[in-house]
Amino acid sequence: MNQMPYFSPGTRRRCFLSSFFLVTLCAGGLLPAAELGPVTHRFVGADYVGNKVAIVAADGSVEWEFPAVSPQDCWLLANGNVLFCESGGAKEVSPKKEIVWRYDAPPAAQCHSCQPLPDGRVLVAECSLGRLVEVGRDGKIAKEIKVASAAKNLSHQFRGTRKTPDGHYWVCLMDEQKIVELAEAGDVLREIPVPGFPHEAIVLPDGHLLVTLGMAKRVIELDANLKIVWDISENELPGNPLRLPAACQRLPNGNTIIGNWLGGGFLGQQPQAFEVTREKKVVWEFKDHARFKTMNQLMVLDTPEDPAKGGLRR
C-alpha cells in the first residue's frame, strides 16, 4: 500500500505558505501568462457559409454538430440542448440530435437572430417581415412586435436582437446604421446612431453598449452618454484584421470575444474568432478552415451563467 510521504511541521508550514502565495499571485493576475497556461475555450458556433451549428471542445475537436441552413445565432441551453436560428425559423436540438422544438417562420421571413427567454419562449427576429416574435413551447407565436425599418434591402432590415431583463428589446437596424431600444409593447424608447452597420449590440452591467459594426470593420463600446470609450479598428490587431465583425461576447474577466465573419473573399485566410483584452492583446483565437467556413455567431461556454436568465453578455 502506498503511503503519504511524511513532512515535518516546518516543512508543512513552508509548503502551505508557498501554496498560499501561489494562489494569491494567480488570483491577483501577477504570474506570467506562460505559467498560467494557454487560454482555451469551449464554445458553440454557427457556421453561416458552412450550413451547420457545432460545439467545439477546448482542444479544438468537434464534440457535436447539426446541419442548418445559413444559421446566424446559437445557444447552448442549461438542459444541454442547442438552440439556433436558420433562414427559415428556429430549432432546439438535443445532444442525441433530436429536434425537440421548432418554429417554422413564414416563407418570406429571414431569421437572423434568436434568444432563449426566462419564461421558456424564444425570441426570433424576422427580416423581410419587419417583426420580432416570441414563440412558445408549442411552436406558435405568443407575442409579436413590429419594428419600423426603412431598409431598401429587406434582408438587411436588422441583425442582432436581444431582450434585456427589464423587458426591453435592442435591435440592430443594420442598413440604417442605428440601434433602437424598444419598450415591452414595442414603442421606440430611443434611437442610437452608430458609425457603421451594427450586427450585435450588447448592454453591459455598467450600462455601456458593446457593438460590432460589420462592414464598417470596427468594434466599439459606448458609455452611458454614447461616447466611444473603447474600440478596435480594421487593422489594429496583428493577425486578426477585422473583415466583418458580427458576434461579440463580454467575458467576466473583461475580455471580449469577437466572431470575425470571413465572407466576401476572405474565406480560409485568418482566424474565424478571437479573444482580445482591454489593452487590445489577442489571447485566444480559433482557426479551423478544414471543418468550418465562417463563425458568424458563437457562445463561449466557460462561464456559469444560464443563457435563458440573461446572465450572458452576448
* pLDDT 10s digits, 260-297: 999 889 999 999 999 999 999 999 999 999 999 999 89
Residue 55 burial class via C-beta count within 10 angstroms: exposed 0-12, middle 13-18, buried 19 and up: buried
pLDDT, position 21: 31
Percent of the chain with pLDDT over 90: 80
Diameter of the chain measured on Cα atoms: 79
Segment 247-258, tens digit of pLDDT: 999 999 999 999
pLDDT, position 25: 32
Order across the sheet with 161-163: list the strands: 161-163, 169-173, 178-182, 188-193
Q: How far apart are CA 58 and CA 80, in angstroms?
A: 17
pLDDT, position 37: 64
Q: Among all chains, which residue has been given the C-alpha cell 409579436?
A: 144
**Residue 55 CA, distance from chain mean position:** 13
Name the residue ranges covered by the structural domains of the chain. Answer: 42-309
Q: How far apart are CA 15 and CA 27, in angstroms?
A: 18
pTM, two decimal places: 0.87
Which residues of the chain have a pLDDT value below 70?
A: 1-37, 309-310
Contact 300, 285 (CB under 8 A): no
The residues, ordered by sequence, that sit 6+ positions from 278 with a Cβ below 8 Å of its Cβ are: 230, 254, 255
Q: Nine-digit cell at 70?
A: 445559413
What integer best gives the mean pLDDT of the chain? 88
**Alpha-helical regions (H) of the chain:** 9-27, 33-36
- Report angle CA 137, 306, 161 to the nearest 5 degrees: 65
**Residue 91 CA, distance from chain mean position:** 18
Asked if CATH classification 2.130.10.10 holds for the domain at 42-309, the reply, yes or no, is yes
Q: Nine-digit cell at 15?
A: 509548503
Q: What is the identity of the amino acid at 311?
A: G
Q: How far apart are CA 225 and CA 18, in angstroms?
A: 47
Q: How far apart are CA 159 and CA 34, in angstroms?
A: 38
